[in-house]
Amino acid sequence: MIRVDGVLQTQNVDWRFDNDNPSIFYFNRFMPASSNIDVLYTPTPTGNVTGDREVVGIDYSINFGGTGNLTYAQAFGRETNTPTPRSGTARSLNGRYSVGPWSLASNYRDIPADFVSTSSATLNRNERVLDWRLGLKAGKNGQFNFNNSNSSILTFNSSNSTFQNTRFVRTSADYTLGVDPSVGWPLTLTAGRNETDTGISRNQIDTVGVSTSRVLGGLTTSLSLDEQRVSGSQSAQVTNARIQTSYRAGSEWDFSLGYGLNQIRSGGQSGQGRDLLGAINYRPTDDFSARLSLSEYDSGSVSSIPGLNTGFGAGYDGNGFTSGTGTTFTGGATNGQNTSLSLRWQANERLGLRASGLIYRSFGSVSSNTRTESASFGMDYDLGGGHFLGGDLNLSTTTFGVSSLKSTATNATGFISGGFGKLAYRSSASVLLSGGIVNLPKTMSHLIYLWITNWGRGKSSVCRPIMEMSRDTCLRVSLI
């Protein structure tokens, strides 16, 4: 809702949304500086999670001695008790191998659009991705890495019942000349290219950068500089510079401070952003520690780069089969402040306690003008006999601008784990309750792991939680 000098404005008549970022709007006529403009943003749910959901997965791993391994993962997810039940099977193959100075790692995953996770049943995405990384140790101090990721992601648009395909290719290379930072300046050179094609827009982001660091007694200093150039449906240029320092004063105190600057140029506009981060750590004994951190950032005056789609947000994220395209490109005028305090106390040999608090404020043209306050408490307890119990409780409240509207969330997690000889177990549960202006249903997930450690060797396997079928073959079963 938008009012100008108290008069309600009409969408698409007096103002319109940005085509690429719906949190930005433009007026269709000139607004004098003397006008009073009031804007009320109301967040809305992005999905409607219904029905019962379950996922059953199995992993199979083969070790090639000390040179590498190959792991196959498969998960079957389904949704029931709904008018349109769905199910799908996600698969991935992950491997690594090294010989001499060479190393190779790769991953292939295929996730169908009907795959359902316990956290959400509204993914509606099909993803096929091949990632690989080649490394070469060059001489005594050099290291060369080459990375490539090729993604094809099909996303369902519920507003018009159509699928949109996103093609994303990320290629990067880096070279590090690693000398001892206490006697010299180790140097890392990086170069990369991100290409995104959504069918509607096509963009390319080229990045080059250099970084180094130095240690002088208790003082560590890091420097970095990079430049990003955007071409395709839109053009832009971003230059980033950053300095990060940390100082350790004895065994109890250490301090860190970082400052960054960036310059954004696009479409005849330019803006300068900055960010400042400071932290203090205090650890008087091995049983107690505290950390206070403060940060403030301002990304500059360029509110958006219309037509730019970096591929960020496409693909899966955070549901077990985790990927997504990702990007290091940032743009848009927003600023914020963050203050956090965390405490840890080992009360005795068996009981460990932790607590933290957070106050976060954000405001600007591409953020939601919010203030979030949260607190969390957790504990771990040794039950004896190789059995452990633990859990965390998190409470948060978010208010929106000067409005009285707010959103609250309570998240509780817990686990119990242990073992009987070579048989080990772990069971965990989580509950999320949320409310306020966005009312989401109560959700609960339960996770059980079953595994057996190495036969006859008396120590855990490197691929736990698993059941070892032979010396170089491992099996993991999970029920979610």
pLDDT digits (tens, 9 = 90+) for 194-237: 888 877 778 888 999 999 999 998 899 999 999 988 888 778 88
Residue 477 banded pLDDT, cuts 50, 70, 90: very low
pLDDT of residue 116: 77
Q: Is the pLDDT of residue 343 over 90?
A: yes
User: Which of 118-122, 270-274, 475-479 has the lowest average pLDDT?
Assistant: 475-479
As a residue count, the chain comes to 480
DSSP 29: S
Maximal CA-CA distance, the chain:
81
Return the percentage of the chain with pLDDT > 70, whole number.
74
Give the whole-angstrom CA distance, residue 62 versus residue 174. Answer: 30
- Residue 43 φ then ψ, to 5°: -65, 145
Give all strands of the β-sheet with 7-8 in edge-to-edge order: 7-8, 2-4, 37-39
What's the rounded Cα separation, in Å, for the pair 300 and 305?
12
Q: What percent of the chain has pLDDT over 90?
A: 32
CB 210 within 8 A of CB 225: yes
pLDDT given for residue 465 in this prediction: 36
pLDDT at 236: 81
Whole-angstrom distance, CA of residue 177 vs CA of residue 360: 39
Q: Which residue has the higher pLDDT, 403 or 426?
A: 426
What's the burial of 304, exposed, middle or buried (CB within 10 Å: 0-12/13-18/19+)? buried
pLDDT at 178 over 90: no
179 neighbors 186 (Cβ within 8 angstroms)? yes
* Per-residue confidence (pLDDT) for residue 389, from 0 to 100: 95
pLDDT at 39: 79
How confident is the prediction for the chain on average, in pLDDT?
77
Nearest partner of 463 among 69, 56, 65, judged by Cα: 69
Nearest 5°: phi and psi at 388? -135, 150
- Looking up tokens 């504990």 gives 379
Q: How far apart are CA 346 and CA 177, in angstroms?
A: 41
Q: Amino acid identity of 134?
A: L
Closest CA to 384 of 407, 359, 361, 416: 416
Region 61-80: mean pLDDT is: 89
**Does residue 326 have a pLDDT over 60?**
no
> pLDDT-based confidence at 441, cuts 50/70/90?
very low
pLDDT band at 162 (very low <50, low <70, confident <90, very high): low
3-state secondary structure at position 455 = coil
Does the structure show a pLDDT above 50 at 60? yes
- Model confidence band, residue 301 (pLDDT cutoffs 50, 70, 90): very low
Residue 295 has pLDDT above 70, yes or no: yes
Bigger pLDDT: 17 vs 454: 17
Asked if 430 contacts 400 with a C-beta cutoff of 8 angstroms, the reply is no
Q: Which long-range contacts (CB under 8 A, 24 or more apart) does 348-354 make?
A: 349/382, 350/381, 350/382, 350/383, 350/384, 351/379, 351/380, 351/381, 351/382, 352/379, 352/380, 352/381, 353/377, 353/378, 353/379, 354/378, 354/379
Higher-scoring residue by pLDDT: 289, 435: 289
Is the predicted pLDDT of residue 347 greater than 90, yes or no? yes
Amino acid identity of 256? S
Q: How far is CA 8 from CA 5, 38, 40, 161, 369, in A?
A: 9, 9, 11, 33, 21
**CB-CB neighbours of 305 under 10 Å:** 24
Which DSSP string do the residues of 264-314 spell out, in sequence order?
EEETTEEEEEEEEEEEEEEEEETTEEEEEEEEEEE--S----TT----TT-
In this prediction, residue 155 has a pLDDT band, given cuts at 50, 70 and 90, of: low
Query: 388-419 pLDDT, tens per residue?
Result: 999 999 999 988 776 677 888 899 999 999 98
Which run of H or E residues covers position 374? Answer: strand 370-384
Higher-confidence residue of 174 and 299: namely: 174
CA distance 125 to 317: 11
Mean pLDDT of 98-121: 82
pLDDT mean over 439-447:
38
- Report the pLDDT averaged over residues 256-284: 86
